[in-house]
Amino acid sequence: MPEDYDSFDAQQRRKFWQTHIERWQANGLSQRAYCIEHDLIIHRFYDWRRRFKSAENNRVSFLPVSLAGSTGRS
């Protein structure tokens, strides 16, 4: 962990972990090996990975719907 990690605001922490998780996904190491190599706290890595995954799964998307026989007027 960087020495100044405790002074990071919420946005800086989010960016820090997002960058590390993206790098981990690209390099093929196990989560534990990646954390050891980059001096990261493993349970924090797991927690942030879960947060990002949860946020991804909770995204709401809307698709346009056309109704047969609809003129678009009320």
**In this predicted model, what pLDDT tens digit does every residue of 21-59 receive, in sequence order?**
999 999 999 999 999 999 999 999 999 999 988 766 556
Residue with tokens 């946005």: 11
**Structural domains in the chain (count):** 1
Is the residue at 62 inside a domain? no
Residue pair 23/17 in contact (Cβ under 8 Å)? The answer is no
Domain annotation covers residue 35: yes
| 21 belongs to a structural domain | yes
Whether 23 maps to a domain, the answer reads yes
pLDDT for 56 equals 65
In a domain, 68, yes or no: no
Task: Identify whether the C-beta of residue 32 lies closer than 8 Å to the C-beta of residue 42.
Answer: yes
The pTM score is 0.68
Looking at residue 19, what is its pLDDT? 95
Residue 37 domain-assigned (yes or no)? yes
Q: What confidence score (pLDDT) does residue 57 get?
A: 57
Domain ranges, residue 34 = 9-53
CA distance 27 to 57: 23
User: Dmax of the chain from CA atoms?
Assistant: 64
Sign of the torsion formed by the C-alpha atoms of 50, 53, 49 and 33: positive
Does residue 3 fall inside a structural domain? no
Residue 1 resides in a domain: no
> Which pLDDT score, from 0 to 100, does residue 23 have?
95
